[in-house]
Amino acid sequence: MRYIIVSSVFFLCMFMSFSACNPDTENQALSKGQEIWFDEYLHDYGEILEDSDGSWSFTFKNVGKEAILINRVRSTCGCTIPEWPREPIEPGDSGKIEVIYNTATTGTFMKSVYVYSTAANSPVKLQIKGKVSAREDQLSKN
Domain boundaries of the chain, sorted by first residue: 1-32, 35-136
Task: For domain 35-136, give the fold.
Answer: Immunoglobulin-like (2.60.40)
Q: How far apart are CA 99 and CA 77, in angstroms?
A: 12
pTM over 0.75: no
Are 70 and 88 spatial neighbours (Cβ–Cβ below 8 Å)?
no
Per-residue pLDDT reduced to its tens digit, 27-58 = 443 444 579 999 999 999 999 999 999 999 99
Give which of 72, 77, 82, 86 is closest to 123, Cα–Cα.
Answer: 72
Q: How far apart are CA 37 and CA 27, in angstroms?
A: 13
Cβ neighbours of residue 83 closer than 8 Å, sequence gap 6 or more:
73, 97, 98, 99, 100
Greatest C-alpha distance within the chain: 90
pLDDT greater at residue 26 or residue 106 = 106
Per-residue pLDDT reduced to its tens digit, 100-132 = 999 999 999 999 999 999 999 999 999 999 999
Residue 9 confidence class, pLDDT cut points 50, 70, 90:
very low
Report the pLDDT value the prediction gives residue 142, as an integer from 0 to 100.
53
